[in-house]
A and B are shown apart, each in its own frame.
Chain A
Amino acid sequence: MKKKKSLSYAKWGYIFVAPATIAFLIFSLYPILFTAVLGFTDFKGVATTTFHFLKDPFENYKAILSSGLFRKALANTFGMWICNFIPQIGLALLLAAWFTRTHHNLKGQGAFKVLMYMPNIITAATVAILFNALFGYPMGPVNDILVKLGIFAKPVEMLRNKMVARGVIVFIQFWMWYGYTMIVLISGILGISPEIFESAAIDGANGWQTFWKITIPNIRTILLFTLVTSLIGGLQMFDIPRLFQNGNPDNATLTTSLFIYNQAFSGSYMYNRASAASMIMFVIICFFSAIMFYFLRDKDEIAENKIMRRQEKEYRKQLKAQKRMEAGR
């Protein structure tokens, strides 16, 4: 009798997860499915609501994949992400190693962390326009410094240069995120059991050896987590390229998100093409997160869950048998 009552609480589980589930179905799942459907249609133009399925369902996908502009946007997005991530993780690792050293500690670590993390919470839109103003022509602060230092004879319109425009975006990304990555890595390093470091010290390992042989292997899951979340974040880069140079000069800073936005909400409002491009990005993101989950899966927890599920099954079986017996009686 008592057991029966505890089972009846199960309905409360469904009630408690219901609001979030309903909101997910309405605001996430339906829009994704709708986007997927639109990718197979001729739906375009502002203020239209009707659409027809295309004879060749993959026409939009073919158009997007063969579009030079989309390929360029994809290459820009990956390129700018890689150029920012390598120095970002390098600097973050270096700083994390300094800040977690148990001897010869640096003073003022708290203040350094607070200042290094600060750019991360500032609105990206603001940062983009600020940097656009800093690199302004003819009289922006950067030009002012370079002329005063005698590096330039006269102000230069630097952002007309493709590599400079890309470089500034790479720098902004790096500058906004290295502090975050550093804090994540510090907490990962602090999570390593101190005994491992102690035994390394007893064995006579120096700082360099300890770092490469102990620290790095022990935080590899966190490194992977950082890599993939940064990549997925990088693939969505929108605010900075849009407000910095709006993809220019000559589409050198056009990212895939900006491409999708421009297809759908400007020009000839090609919702169908934008939807197809969205789904392509969706597949790419799924691929990378699947890789991450595969490597990050907690083997102990999986085993535990298996045992738990088996127990629950047996418990239910017992309950059924009990019921049958009661009914038979």
Chain B
Amino acid sequence: MNRKKLDLRSIEYLVCILLAVLSIFPFWIMIVNATRSTTQIQQHAISMIPSTYALNNFKVLTGKSFKPIVGFTNSLIISIGATACAVYFSTMTAYGLVVYRWRGRQAYFTAVMAVMMIPAQITMIGFYQMMYRLHLTNRLSMLILPAIASPTMIFFMRQYMVGALSLEIVQSARIDGAGEFRIFNQIALPIMKPAIATQAIFSFVSSWNDLFRPLVLLTNQKKYTMPIMVSLLRGDIYKTEYGSVYLGLTLTVIPLMIVYFLLSKYIIAGVALGSVKG
């Protein structure tokens, strides 16, 4: 009996280790190949040992249309801007739903839940045509401002706030003579910090990884985001530059991995929390 349990447990460990390796292996090949020359890759496409051609690959990579700094800067501007808008205004909307009693409040919350599932892709033709007519394509701000309305985040913030913010605190701040916006900014926002941190991470990552909307809206190469830069690696100009392609991919993955391994505890807790609340 004990023997059988031991065997089962070693199978479980084996499965877990295999899956962990499966998560790392493709990225490991990518990083190693980023340091190898195209000739080396052509001879042996798979290798565990890094080589010394990273700088050379970088020169070839940036000598063509892939501009990592431009992509990185644009992605950073959009992601930070969109995340800031999303968390601030979603918390604000949640505050309006939790703290005040107004006609239509319940209906409003139901509407938030109803529109939560509408994907941005469905609205894209109309969105693009609207932007085209107003001459607002190629504006990074047009990828930031829509984040002010983030129904999923409003829903999450509202659920969190119901449990976290006591109305007595709001009431006593009012008695002390604080204005409504001041109470929100100086009392409610700090209380919401844990929820804001979690939501900010997910908002940032999804904004950073988004390809569809930037691809439709941005046609000027100077405005390209990181995922659009990545998509250039699929094109003909990099067809035979294997080392450079791997290096370009690596450049987009490394920052994400650093952030992930620094924040993984919070990210995984955040996934778990979101599912229970949702």
Contact = CB atoms under 8 A, between A and B. Distances in A.
Given A20-B89, A20-B90, A35-B126, A130 B26 contact: yes
B256 to A, nearest CB: 6
B126 A124 contact: no
Nearest to B146: A27
A117 B268 contact: yes
B9 A243 contact: no
A116 B19 contact: yes
B126 A282 contact: no
A10 B92 contact: no
A188 B272 CA distance: 8
A31 B89 contact: no
B95 interface: yes
A309 B118 CA distance: 28
Interface stretch (A210-218, A271-279, A320-328): A271-279
Interface in B173-209: 180, 184, 205, 208-209
B3 interface: no
Contacts of A119: 23
- Best-surrounded residue of B114, B129, B253 (most CB of chain A within 10 A): B129
Interface centre among A17, A108, A179, A257 (most CB of B within 10 A): A17
A19 B123 CA distance: 20
A253 interface: no
B81 interface: no
B125 interface: yes
Main secondary structure of the interface of A (DSSP, over half): helix
B276 interface: yes
A294 interface: no
Interface stretch (A62-70, A77-85, A141-149): A141-149
A66 to B, nearest CB: 20
A132 B278 CA distance: 35
B122 A32 contact: yes
Given A17-B96, A115-B20, A133 B122 contact: no
B29 interface: yes
12 contacts: A12-B96, A31-B130, A32-B118, A133-B249, A134-B29, A184-B271, A186-B272, A191-B276, A225-B278, A239-B211, A278-B125, A305-B106
Given A136-B45, A285-B117, 8 more contacts: A13-B101, A15-B180, A49-B133, A114-B268, A117-B264, A125-B211, A126-B227, A225-B278
